Structure 1
Amino acid sequence: MSRFGPVPWGRLRHVSAIEWSAAGSLAAWLWLLLCQGFFWRTDVRLPPSRDPVRWPSVCVVIPARDEAAVLPASLPSVLAQDYPGRAEVFLVDDGSADGTGALARELARRCGGLPLTVGSPGEPPAGWTGKLWAVRHGIASARARDPEFLLLTDADIAHAPDSLRRLVAAARTGGFDLVSQMARLRTESRWERLVVPAFVYFFAQLYPFRRIGRAGTRTAAAAGGCVLLRAEAAERARVPDSIRHAVIDDVALARAVKRSGGRVWLGLADRVDSVRPYPRLGDLWSMVARSAYAQLRHSPVLLAGTVAGLALVYLVPPVATVAGAVTGNAAAAVFGAAAWLVMSGTYAPMLRHYGQPLWLAPLLPFTASLYLLMTVDSAVRHHRGRGAAWKGRTYARPEVLPDEG
């Protein structure tokens, strides 16, 4: 056989497992780089818009459970929205034990701004998550005002004064039924700087923003902290009743709207910020572990596939690079280093978006290993009966609802 011909089978049999793994990881990264909706780009921001001739009415719905610690930094920004049309705020106190409702009324009295109504729906019935039960109560109260749009935002989200105006203009101009922005999360503590940008990066990898906004695609997702929803689209999609059991409610909401024929847009925010601190690794761990297994539909098979996939894509490159260099396996070292380089390059834009140093990019395999462990821990918690635990409530795996079967 000529040296320019096919590689002999005998030689292929001697290719080591680390070489195959490194080559497979590199192939996966090249596919992600070019074929996964350019998920790594961070230039998906609110689309160009123009002010409408008549500004539609909007009702803001804020579900809140034990949020007294963050409410002073978030609620005044919502009440201070510079919106030309009619707008009012409905904060739903979901059984708080820290005086959230009373604090909200006091903040409204001191700060003024948009009118605020505080309500409480009581404990959620079986089959409902607490947040969606609160959202249902807020939407029901808002419907008495007959708004054209609903802004669903969390109690830890602070909005720039023109946030509502820009969201409505973008929805009206683009003909979107749902416009959502991924709020900028805090990156002040050491662990926040290491884990938070990766959280958004992984989310965009699962749900490429460009595909979400493109007509005719099935990809749908939203960021629950900031969702502008056309009231008519909510009724058409039977939201939130049709997703009442969803732990990952923002993705479920976007899917319901898109399935019902609505247009959905999701991008990164510049002027919408989360004020909730996650100073310790344990805080971030709980945030991820409470819903990671639900993302995998509580399936051991999907869990095993996810663990294997994370290991191949994120852990093999540095292992192959080091092992190849130590053992003199040039092919493993080259493939591993190339995969590691592509991985770091795709992570760099997200680090820049969060104002973090680029030397954190090569540390993504370490962060990914933390997420792998968080995902496994999420499954362990579920099988021990703790499920998706959040603020004193635990949600077990829901059965398929009759209207979703």
Structure 2
Amino acid sequence: MEHLINTKVQEIEVSGIRKFYNLVSHIDDVISLTIGQPDFKTPEHVKQAGMQAIEENFTSYTHNAGISELRKAACDFVAKKYNLSYEPDSEVIVTVGASEAIDITFRTILAEGTEVILPGPIYPGYEPIIRMCGAVPVHVDIRNNHFRFTLDMIKPYITDKTRCIVLPYPSNPTGVSLTETELKEIADYLKEREIFVLADEIYSELTYDQSHISIASFLKEKTIVINGLSKSHSMTGWRIGFIYAPKDITKHILKVHQYNVSCATSIAQKAALAALTTGIDDAIPMKKEYIIRRDYVYNRLTAMGLQVVKPDGAFYFFVKIPEFIQLNSFDFALEMVHQAKVAVVPGSAFSEYGEGYFRLSFACSLVSLETGLNRIENFLNTKK
């Protein structure tokens, strides 16, 4: 019966991140620098709110867009943090993580044959959804622009079929953000064009050298902001995300959301309410620790002679594989697991423009980072 499966589904592949993880997860004594989630525990007060919701039997369906208190808290959060103004009753939707938010946004705005412009390398979660919508992903090679997805990189790829531009920043896998000037240039150029911007800002609370600025500050009427609590509050398993957009857009996204999941989990919504109110600054202690780790890893990598761009957000380094290594990124990462007992994510997982790189996460302890980097250094020395 497999031949009857939707051809668009047949043509997509399992994420390269997951594929590599499944291949090496059984190997003993491996230091994993692959993790894409905080190594901190969910804050205690957030867990207590979730448990209280269970005890109080808050276990039924909620409003499709989420409980009103959470929508208000979500709007208050971005108003305080990023100076963004949204109406709780009509311009925010609580979703099952940022992944569902991306899915229902694309399914709402894309049509057969339309084009979506994305930077490359990029997180692999966008392209399969775009293709399942019958749209065409158009990757822009930003490797020689210090991984910056700026207007001069975007303009040559805009056509009359362009429906959306994806701005994921801080970036997974590069950790790079955009400056206020760069964002304003993109916004000014798009003001007179009928093109959506999907701004995936899931790492917005984890910026190190500058405060996060959303392109919605300059182009609210065309921007759909994706955010959530997975990274800011170490709540990956709680699956709470948010969509912020003008009401003439959210009213249509809400229809897709309604038929997709009805609503986000009621218990997780109560926990999210605690995260955005009592825990509005929960990311600050994590961020301080990430800065220490980032600086340590950067110094170690550059001392090895490896080519890296210092990340100003998220918790990843995207590292150029040395030229003396005559392997593609997947085989390089696989060999390093077997020979050095350290796991990283091959760059090919992040589109064809990630080939020749590997992603290293610093969302793990300094002890693990030190051990892992020692092993990487020894491994590279044996290859020279």
Fold shared, TM-score > 0.5 on shorter chain? no
Q: TM-score per shorter chain, which class?
A: under 0.3
Report the structure, 1 or 2, having the larger helix content: 1
Structure number with the bigger relative contact order (C-alpha 8 A, sep ≥ 6) is: 2
Greater Rg by CA: 1
State the TM-score, normalizing by the size of structure 2. 0.25
Q: TM-score, normalised by structure 1?
A: 0.24
